């Protein structure tokens, strides 16, 4: 079986203008959303307490709310099934979160002895702040590391194009999380960074072909070379991402609430990763003015290990 | 062509066998167990037979006992029996032994003898509590300065230096004198006896200000966190937890992980207690009623006794809980009230003897201080000099309270208060759920990929699937060998690396198809496909590896687990996707003339 039996190269580069326009538009919308609505940060970043409790019968959220009425800004919602309830308590300056969750649980037990503690997470304010700064640092380090590697392995234009394309994915994932106000937690951050590393693969594979084509297709001009590289790697792109997506979809369906947003972030990242590394990174490389001459120079430097 | 030399096939086969063996224990699962350990009593075969008899008489069936130098582990078939057995054994063996719940691998003995152990399950998979505690370093400094204050006072008195006042201002001590002579003498005395203090003299008012030197400061802080870790370890031992983790993190934080702890309220209570013991003198010279109504006399503090009665206590500390060697609950042999018997160390004994000798007929207050809240446990009259370092505290205590106080004192005092700044508690049922969910995700994802690959690439798809399976085993084996902690994000990481690892095989298969399309012979196509795809596979894996390493450096807790799996998964996938799949292809096609490759 074969999905892609393409005889002629698809002129991707002549669509470059449109695809970049679409990217720019989604990018601007995502940035706008992030600026106005912001992200719905989980307690990993904001600090606070989350409790998951389980009842032997469908839970009465009204009653739970009434029991917690004395505490301001408490959110009570069903979680997964009608018997599971998620309670969120904001940070309080004077009470230790560790003590607070005990008090809440004692109150609930008083109302209904069948309640069972499933999970308690309390994060203090200083920890949350550190996680935000560590997360940003990790993002920066990953970007620099990947750029450095690509600059050594290929050329600075490729490095720049790949990182622009992939940071654009990251912003779009964040845009989705902002639009739907999905909870942005630590695992989601991990997913975002994993996507960054993963979808750069895509650019690398295309760039590899571009480099090879510069060697083989002596008579073609740059857009033709890039078109050919993309067309010939398309099959692999779709199949690889399809397989990874199969796994991620499985996590989305069977992984439960704990892995839900993690898998969701990966899904968005994978879908946009295909698009951006093919239709955003390559036009940027072209516009940055890559030519056979630059490339042969770079080729000489790394020639020994590349061949 | 397309034949691996024997040594290469041999190495691949060996790695696969080792990988399979070391991955195997994970599939046997873990059985509930009880772990018996002790810091004082012997763990030997005599204990083993005692435990065996105890369980037999309680009609509890065990499924194996394992003795090692540090502990005795008893395996059970279900958690019900395990919980009952824990209670039975704890009452039978008494306070000398710590009886804790644990999990033991169900894998057969020959696997264990190879050193093959299952992965260590993280708290989100086995249930338990994770705390991150912050040590209040400023308090450590002020506590040290308070101690210095008391000692300087005694020192000046001994040296016959007259001072008009001494007090602590923030982190500095201020000593005032009436004339220059005493001030000068004090400076020489103090700098001789207290090398950790930097003294500054202000001439006009005959005042000395003493501050900690920077090295002394960092030494105190270092000591404070070490002392707190020791204290926490003692307290956790009292709680009875198998395999607790207590580690320093950064300069002022401590991580505490208690797997399998069910009663989190109790754990928090014991760990969160910042009780320190102090012995001070009761001020009976001033009138209590007047102090309640009006200003409290200088140098005194108005506290409450257990039972609610107010009592006037001097601020200066004569002895702290640091000097306690041991504390046991018991009874007062005259009144048969509940009491705590304390053993002091040699310095403590000497100091205590001195104090009691100097203050016969006066009252001394024994204080428990929790989070800046001081409570006088008891304030007995000193009838005679007490030597030998045996002290008994009694008064207004139930036996339960006596037990708790003894535990707290025995576990040692905290050098500085601590606060829980992060807590993650996972109930045991959620842990089991998480394992099932992580397992299901991986399994169904794997099946879906397998079906697709076989349909799409036929024989080569099948080879890819076998390589992917080998990758799973190798990854699990490496994680088990490293005894890495598996968390739910780690399981997600396994699933994700499998989803990503197939990329290498797709690349190879596509290249082979490409080569065939370009008119190469099957053998040449296989060779060129593998050779050419290799550079691309390396490039694309390294970028993911960079992301994984950054996550490992900056991630915390569960994210770190994800990062470890991601990085290791990339390495094992390179091995299995390139070498293992090539070896299989070589076996299938390498030794003969091939008319057509079944690659779809």
pLDDT digits (tens, 9 = 90+) for B344-377: 877 778 888 888 888 888 888 888 776 567 778 7
List, for residues A138-175, the tens digit of each pLDDT value. 888 888 888 888 888 888 888 898 888 888 889 999 99
Measured CA to CA in angstroms, residue B33 lies from A177, B54, B161, B451 at distances of 44, 16, 65, 40
Contact A190 B446 (CB under 8 A): no
- Of the candidates A120, A204, A254, the beta carbon closest to that of B441 is on A254
User: pLDDT value at position A303?
Assistant: 43
Distances (CA, A) of B137 to B199, B200, B321, B417, B597: 22, 24, 18, 8, 70
Q: Do B502 and A243 touch (CB under 8 A)?
A: yes
Tokens representing B531 are 């050779």
* pTM value > 0.80: no
Q: Which chain A residues touch B535 with a CB distance below 8 Å?
A: 208, 306
- The residue written with tokens 């797997």 in the block is B259
Asked if ipTM goes beyond 0.85, one says yes
Q: A141 to chain B: nearest residue by CA?
A: B550
Question: β-strand A75-79 against A81-89: which pairing, if any?
Answer: antiparallel
- Determine the average pLDDT of the residues in B114-126: 85
pLDDT, one tens digit per residue, over B137-154 is 888 888 788 778 877 887
Q: What is the pLDDT of residue B11?
A: 93
CA distance A262 to chain B (A): 9
Closest-CA residue of B relative to A44 is B422
- Who among A141, A198, A240 is closest to B506 (CB)? A240
Nearest by CB to residue A201, choosing from B419, B424, B503, is B503
Chain A residues within 8 A of B503 when measuring between CB atoms: 201, 240, 243-244
> SS3 for B332?
coil
pLDDT confidence of residue A307: 36
Instruction: Residue B471: list chain A partners with CB under 8 A.
Output: none
**CA–CA separation, B19 vs B267, rounded Å?**
39
- Nearest by CB: B502 against A135, A240, A306: A240
pLDDT of B274 higher than 70: no
Choose the weakest-confidence range: A235-239, B314-318, B556-560.
B556-560
Lowest mean pLDDT among B96-100, B275-279, B547-551: B275-279
The answer to whether the Cβ–Cβ distance between A190 and B559 falls below 8 Å is yes
- Look at residue B487 and tell me whether its pLDDT is greater than 70: yes
* B444/A146 Cβ within 8 A: no
Whether B422 and A119 lie within 8 Å, measured CB to CB: no
Pick B546's closest partner by Cβ from A105, A135, A142: A142
Residues of chain B above pLDDT 70, percent: 95
Nearest CA in chain B to A199: B544
**How far is B446 from B433, CA to CA, in rounded Å?**
20
Q: Is the pLDDT of residue B594 over 80?
A: no
Q: Pick the residue from chain A with its C-alpha nearest to B423.
A: A122
pLDDT in tens, B143-184: 788 778 877 887 888 788 888 888 888 888 888 888 888 888
Residues of B in contact with A266 (CB under 8 A): 496
Helix crossing, A222-254 with B428-481: angle to 10°?
130
Domain(s) labelled CATH 3.30.70.3400 in chain A stretch across 48-123
How many CB pairs below 8 A link A and B?
242
How many other β-carbons are positioned within 10 Å of the β-carbon of residue A110? 10
Assigned architecture for domain A48-123 = 2-Layer Sandwich (3.30)
pLDDT, averaged across chain B: 84
- Range among A66-80, B392-406, B438-452 with highest mean pLDDT value: B438-452
Q: Which two tokens stand for residue B121?
A: 């399950």
- Facing B540 at nearest CB: one of A124, A196, A201: A201
pLDDT at residue B232 is higher than 80: yes
pLDDT at B243: 78
Residue to mutate among A1, A89, A169, A197, with most B CBs inside 10 A, is: A197
Q: How far apart are CA B255 and CA B132, in angstroms?
A: 5
Q: How far is B448 from chain A (nearest CA, A)?
A: 7
B402-422 confidence digits (pLDDT tens): 776 776 666 556 777 788 888
Q: Which of A239, A262, A302 to mutate to test the interface with B (most CBs of B within 10 A)?
A: A239
- Start-end ranges of CATH 1.20.1640.10 in chain A? 12-40+127-306
Mean pLDDT over A294-299 rounds to 58
CA distances B383 to A292, B360, B363, Å, are: 100, 6, 9
pLDDT at position A248 is: 94
* C-beta atoms of B495 and A205 within 8 A: no
**Does the distance separating the beta carbons of A138 and B550 come in below 8 Å?**
yes
Residues of B in contact with A190 (CB under 8 A): 489, 551, 555, 559, 562-563
Does residue A283 carry a pLDDT above 90?
no
Backbone torsions φ then ψ of B341, nearest 5 degrees? -95, 125
What pLDDT is stored for residue B423 in this prediction? 85
Whether B383 shows a pLDDT value over 60: the answer reads: yes
Q: Residue A11's closest CA among A162, A205, A228?
A: A228
Where is B19: in which H helix or E strand? helix B6-23
Asked if B419 lies within 8 A of A96 by C-beta distance, the reply is yes
Nearest to A197 among B444, B492, B546 (CB): B546
pLDDT range class, residue A306, cuts 50, 70, 90: very low
Average pLDDT, chain A: 84
Asked if A243 and B499 count as a contact pair (C-beta separation under 8 A), the reply is yes
On the CB side of A24, CA atoms within 13 Å amount to: 8
> How many Cα atoms sit within 13 Å of B185 on the Cβ side?
15
Q: With bands split at pLDDT 50, 70 and 90, how would you rate the model's confidence at B386? A: confident
Substitution target from A43, A96, A133, A236 for chain B, most B beta carbons within 10 A: A236
Contact call for B544 and A246, based on CB within 8 A? no
Per-residue burial over B462-485, b = 16 or more CB atoms within 10 Å of its CB, e = otherwise: bbbbebbebbbbbbbbbbbbeebb
Task: Enumerate the residues of chain B whose CB falls inside 8 A of the CB of residue A187.
Answer: 489, 492, 558-559, 562
Of B446, B500, B539, the CB nearest to A204: B539
Of A155-164, A177-186, B381-390, the one with minimum mean pLDDT is B381-390
Q: Do B543 and A204 touch (CB under 8 A)?
A: yes
pLDDT above 90 coverage of chain A, percent: 15
Could you write out the DSSP letters of every residue in B548-574? Answer: HHHHHHH--THHHHHHHHHHHHHHHHH
Interchain CB distance below 8 Å, B559 and A197: no
CA–CA gap between residue B439 and residue B495 (Å, rounded): 9
| Cβ neighbours of A1 in B, within 8 Å | 455-456, 600
Quick check: B272 and A98 CB within 8 A? yes
Determine the average pLDDT of the residues in A2-22.
Answer: 79
Minimal CA separation from A272 to chain B, in Å: 16
**Distance (Å, rounded) from C-alpha B463 to C-alpha B529?**
15
**C-alpha separations of A81 from A86, A180, A257 in Å:** 11, 21, 10
pLDDT surpassing 60 at residue A301:
no
CATH says A12-40+127-306 is which class?
Answer: mainly alpha
- pLDDT for B265 equals 73
Mean local confidence (pLDDT), B188-194 = 85
Phi, then psi, of B104 in degrees rounded to 5: -125, 140
Phi, psi of A50 (to 5 degrees): -120, 130
Flag if A186 and B558 touch (Cβ within 8 Å).
yes
């Amino acid at each position: 079986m074969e999905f892609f039996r393409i005889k002629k190269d698809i002129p991707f580069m002549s669509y470059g203008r449109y695809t970049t326009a679409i990217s720019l538009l989604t990018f601007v919308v995502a940035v706008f959303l992030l600026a106005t609505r912001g992200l719905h940060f989980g307690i990993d970043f904001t600090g606070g307490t989350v409790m998951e409790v389980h009842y032997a019968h469908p839970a009465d959220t009204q009653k739970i709310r009434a029991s917690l009425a004395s505490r301001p800004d408490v959110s009570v919602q069903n979680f997964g099934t009608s018997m599971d309830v998620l309670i969120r308590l904001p940070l309080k300056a004077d009470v230790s979160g560790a003590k607070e969750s005990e008090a809440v649980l004692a109150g609930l037990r008083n109302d209904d002895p069948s309640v069972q503690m499933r999970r308690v997470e309390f994060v203090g304010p200083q920890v949350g702040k550190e996680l935000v700064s560590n997360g940003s640092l990790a993002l920066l380090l990953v970007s620099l590391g990947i750029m450095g590697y690509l600059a050594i392995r290929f050329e600075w234009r490729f490095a720049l194009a790949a990182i622009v394309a992939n940071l654009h994915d990251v912003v779009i994932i964040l845009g989705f999380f902002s639009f739907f106000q999905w909870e942005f937690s630590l695992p989601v951050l991990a997913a975002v960074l994993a996507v960054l590393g993963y979808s750069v693969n895509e650019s690398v594979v295309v760039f590899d072909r571009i480099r090879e084509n510069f060697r083989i297709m002596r008579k073609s001009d740059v857009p033709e070379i890039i078109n050919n590289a993309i067309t010939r790697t398309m099959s692999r792109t779709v199949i690889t991402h399809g397989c990874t997506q199969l796994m991620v979809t499985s996590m989305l369906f069977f992984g439960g609430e704990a892995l839900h947003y993690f898998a969701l972030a990966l899904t968005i990242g994978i879908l946009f990763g295909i698009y951006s590394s093919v239709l955003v990174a390559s036009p940027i490389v072209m516009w940055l003015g890559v030519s056979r001459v630059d490339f042969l120079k770079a080729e000489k430097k790394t020639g020994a290990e590349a061949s | 062509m397309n034949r691996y030399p024997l040594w290469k096939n041999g190495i691949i086969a060996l790695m696969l066998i080792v990988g399979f063996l070391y991955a195997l224990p994970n599939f046997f699962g873990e059985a509930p167990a009880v772990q018996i350990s002790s810091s004082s009593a012997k763990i030997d075969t005599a204990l083993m037979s005692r435990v065996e008899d105890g369980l037999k008489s309680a009609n509890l069936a065990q499924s194996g006992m394992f003795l090692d130098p540090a502990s005795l582990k008893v395996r059970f078939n279900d958690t019900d029996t395990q919980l009952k057995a824990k209670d039975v054994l704890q009452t039978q063996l008494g306070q000398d032994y710590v009886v804790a719940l644990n999990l033991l691998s169900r894998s057969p003995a020959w696997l264990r003898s190879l050193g093959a152990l299952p992965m260590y399950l993280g708290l989100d998979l086995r249930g338990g509590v994770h705390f991150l505690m912050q040590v209040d370093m400023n308090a450590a400094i002020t506590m040290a300065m308070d101690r210095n204050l008391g000692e300087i006072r005694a020192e000046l008195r001994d040296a016959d230096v007259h001072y008009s006042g001494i007090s602590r201002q923030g982190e500095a001590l201020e000593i005032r004198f009436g004339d220059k002579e005493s001030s000068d003498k004090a400076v020489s005395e103090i700098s001789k006896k207290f090398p950790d203090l930097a003294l500054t003299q202000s001439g006009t008012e005959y005042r000395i200000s003493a501050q900690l030197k920077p090295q002394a400061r960092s030494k105190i802080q270092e000591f404070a966190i070490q002392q707190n870790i020791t204290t926490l370890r003692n307290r956790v031992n009292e709680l009875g937890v198998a395999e607790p983790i207590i580690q320093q993190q950064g300069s002022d934080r401590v991580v505490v992980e208690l797997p399998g702890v069910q009663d989190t309220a109790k754990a928090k209570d014991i760990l969160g207690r910042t009780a320190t013991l102090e012995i001070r003198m009761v001020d009976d010279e001033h009138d209590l009623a007047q102090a309640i109504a009006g200003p409290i006399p200088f140098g005194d503090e108005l506290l409450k006794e257990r039972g609610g009665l107010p009592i006037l206590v001097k601020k200066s500390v004569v002895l702290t809980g640091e000097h306690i060697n041991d504390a046991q609950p018991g009874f007062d042999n005259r009144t048969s009230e509940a009491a705590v018997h304390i053993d002091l160390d040699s310095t403590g004994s000497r100091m205590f003897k001195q104090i009691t000798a100097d203050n016969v007929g006066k009252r001394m207050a024994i204080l428990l201080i929790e989070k800046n809240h001081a409570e006088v446990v008891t304030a007995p009259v000193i009838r005679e000099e007490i030597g030998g370092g045996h002290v008994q505290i009694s008064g207004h205590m139930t036996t339960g309270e006596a037990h708790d106080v003894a535990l707290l004192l025995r576990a040692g005092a905290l050098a500085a208060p601590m606060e829980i700044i992060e807590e993650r508690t996972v109930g045991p049922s959620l842990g089991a759920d998480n394992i099932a969910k992580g397992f299901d995700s991986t399994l169904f994802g794997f099946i879906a990929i397998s079906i697709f690959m076989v349909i799409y690439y036929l024989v080569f798809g099948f080879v890819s699937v076998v390589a992917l399976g080998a990758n799973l085993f190798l990854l699990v084996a490496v994680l088990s060998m490293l005894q890495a902690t598996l968390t739910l994000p780690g399981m997600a990481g396994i699933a994700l690396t499998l989803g990503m690892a197939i990329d290498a095989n797709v690349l190879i298969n596509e290249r082979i198809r490409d080569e065939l399309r370009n008119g190469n012979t099957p053998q040449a196509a296989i060779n060129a496909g593998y050779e050419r795809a290799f550079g691309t596979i390396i490039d694309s894996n390294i970028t993911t590896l960079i992301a994984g390493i950054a996550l490992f450096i900056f991630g915390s807790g569960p994210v770190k687990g994800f990062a470890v799996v991601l990085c290791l998964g990339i390495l094992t996938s390179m091995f299995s996707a390139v070498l293992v799949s090539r070896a299989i292809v070589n076996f299938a096609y390498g030794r003969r003339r091939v008319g057509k490759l079944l690659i779809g």
